[in-house]
Amino acid sequence: MNAAKTLLEMLSRYGVTDVFGLPGETTLALYREWDAYPGVAYHMCRDERSSVFMVDAYAKATGRVGICEGPSVGATHMIPGVTEAFAACVPILVFTSDVALDTTKKNMLTGFDQTAIFRGVTKETYTVTKGAEIPFLIRRAFRSAAGGRPGPVHIRIPHDIFGHEVDESEIFAQERFASFPGVRSSAAEEDMRAAAEEITSASRPVMICGQGCIHSGAWEAVLELAERVGMPVGSTINAKGIFPETHELSLGVVGARGGLEWSNGMAASSDLVLFVGTSTDSALTDGWKLPDPKSSLKIIQIDISELELGNNYRVLPLMGDARETINGILKFIPADLRDGTREWMKRAKRERGEYEKRLNEFERSLGDAPHPLAIVRILERAAPDDAFFVFDPGISAVYPASFLRLGRSGRRTAFNFAMGALGYGIPAAIGAKIGLPDRKVIGLIGDGSFGFAAGELETAVRLGLDIMYILFDNRSYGWIRGTEFVTGKSPLSPDFGRFTNFAEVDYVKIAEGFGMKGFSTGSAKEFEEILRRCLAESGAKLIAITSRPEDKLLPPVPGWYRYAKSVGLENLYGSACMTVR
C-alpha cells in the first residue's frame, strides 16, 4: 500500500470522519488516493488559518482529536490557529505537505524549514523521511495530542514520500487515543484525602473550573462535589458550560473576561479555592489578583500538567485528570456537608439575586435598543437548550460570557481566549457544526473578525451547513478603542479613528453574495422576530446588529468598571454603574 493511502487508512482506523484543509500542489498525490477513498470526508476551506480554527472548535465540540491539513506554501498561515490550540491545550493533528527535502537548499519554490516554525507551538513536530514511518508517527501523534496535557501535533510529509510503499502489517491504530483524554490518571490517594480534609473544613469554599474540566468530561463530577459540599462553582471563559448556570451554586464565569462584581467578590471572600483544570492565567485571575496570592486562604489545584501546579499560587497540588481526581476526592467526603456552608450558600444566593434584580430593571429600561445585554438575553430565551455557541473576541464574547445563562452543562461553547486572535468565530462555527450535525450552532461574531474570515461564509454555504451568525457591527476595532479610552482616561480624538475605524459595510449584501440569507436590524424586538424565524429554518444565515464601539459602551471588565465608576459611565460589571434609563 502506498504512503498516501496508508495515511488515509490510519485516519480511518482512528475513527476520523472529517478533515479540514486547503489544496496545494505538494498535496496532489494524497488527493489522488483520497478521491477514491470513502469514509474520511474532506472539507475545503478558503484560508489555511481557518482550517485550524475549524478543527479547534470541532475538537472542543466533539471531544475527538481534530485533523487539518495544508500545503507547503500555506503552512505559515496555519500558525495563528496552532498557537491558539497549543495555549488552550486543544488536541489536533496538523498535516502539512512539503517539497522534496533534497531540494530545499536549492531554493525550491515554497520550500522552507516548517519544523522551525511549528516547534514552539506544538507538543511535537515530525518530518516523515520515508513512507514506512507513517503508521508509527500517526500512532505517536494521536497519543501525544490526546494524552497528558493535550495539544497540537504537527506532521510534515514531503510530496515525494506519498508514493513510497508501506508494509500493511504496520497499519493498526490505538483507538482509545482518537478521543481525549486518551488515558486517565488520578492524583495520589494521600493527596486526594488531604484535599478532602481541607474542603470539609472550609466554611466558604469556591471551585473554579478551567477548560481542562471540559476536556476531561468532568461536569457530572463537578456537580456532585459542589452539591455535596455546598460549594459555589465559577468557570473560566473557556470553560463556560462546565456547570449549569441556572443552578443555585453557579457563579457563572469569573475573572477579568466574563466575571461580575458579585461573582468575583465571592471568589475573593472565600476561605478555600479549588482550581480544577485551569492555568490560573491573567484573564481568570484579573492579573493574578483574584484570589489575592498574599491572603491566608487555602488553595488546592488539580491539573494534568505538573507545570501548572502551583505556577502562580502556593497550592496543595494534585496531579491528575480532572474527572478521575474529583471522583477520588469524593470518596473521602461525607454525603452532605451543607450545614457547614449553609450561610455561605445563602450569601451567594442573596448577592446573585440582588444583582439580577438590578440587571432586570436595567434591561427593562432599554426598551427596544439593541444593547448587547438585550441581544444575549433574547438569545438565551430563544435558542435550544443543547445549542452550541461559538464566540469571536470582543463584545461578541464578553457579554455572552457574563450574561448568557446556559442551563445544561457539557461541551457547549468555543471561545479562543487563550490567545484571542481575530477571525475565529466564522470558521470555528463551521468546524463545530460539522462535528455536531444534529445540534444548532450559533456564532456570535464581530465586524473586526469578519474582515479576517469573510470568505468562509462561502464554505458554510457550499457545505450546506445550518449555521446562524449574529454579527455586532460597530464599524471599528472596538476593543482597541475601549482600551485606549480607559487607559488614556479621556475621550478619543477624532483622528484616532485612523487606527481603528472602518467604512460603512453592508454585511447583508456580502452574506447574500455568498449565497446565504442575510438580515440587519437596529431593534431588539425585530432581532427576536428574525432570530426565531431563522432558528426554525435550515441553512446558513447572518443577522447584522447595529452596535456601539467599546469606548461608547464599556463592556463589563473589572478595570474598565473602576474607571466607569469614577466618571459616572454605564458599566454592567457592578450595580453601581447601572443607570436605569
Residue 570 lies in a domain: yes
Instruction: Clarify whether residues 174 and 200 are in a common domain.
Output: no
Residue with cell 494521536: 142
Instruction: Clarify whether residues 43 and 92 are in a common domain.
Output: yes
pTM: 0.97
Cell numbers describing residue 131: 513512507
Distances in whole angstroms, Cα of residue 107 to Cα of each of 25, 102, 111, 295, 432: 17, 10, 7, 59, 39
pLDDT at 475: 96
Cell numbers describing residue 415: 471561545
Instruction: Clarify whether residues 12 and 110 are in a common domain.
Output: yes
pLDDT at 132: 97
Task: Give the domain CATH number at 19.
Answer: 3.40.50.970
Q: What does the pLDDT look like over 355-376, one tens digit per residue?
A: 999 999 999 999 999 999 999 9
Instruction: Clarify whether residues 86 and 31 are in a common domain.
Output: yes
pLDDT at 581: 64
Burial of 296 (0-12, 13-18, 19+ CB in 10 A): exposed
Residue 391 lies in a domain: yes
pLDDT at 523: 96
Checking 306-312 for CB contacts under 8 A at 24+ apart, the result is: 307/149, 308/278, 308/279, 308/280, 311/279, 311/280, 312/280, 312/285, 312/288
Residue 425 lies in a domain: yes
Residue 359 lies in a domain: no
Report helix angle 338-365 to 372-382, nearest 10: 120
Q: Which of 347, 381, 405 is the last residue of a domain?
A: 347
Q: Which of 312, 347, 382 is the last residue of a domain?
A: 347
Residue 400 lies in a domain: yes
pLDDT at 101: 87
Which residue range is the domain that position 455 belongs to? Answer: 366-577
Q: Provide the mean pLDDT of the chain.
A: 96
Which residue ranges of the chain lie beneath pLDDT 50? none
Instruction: Clarify whether residues 373 and 521 are in a common domain.
Output: yes
Residue 453 lies in a domain: yes
Residue 216 lies in a domain: yes
pLDDT at 296: 87
Residue 480 neighbours by CB distance under 10 Å: 18
Q: What does the pLDDT look like over 41-58, one tens digit per residue?
A: 999 999 999 999 999 999
Q: How many domains does the chain have?
A: 3
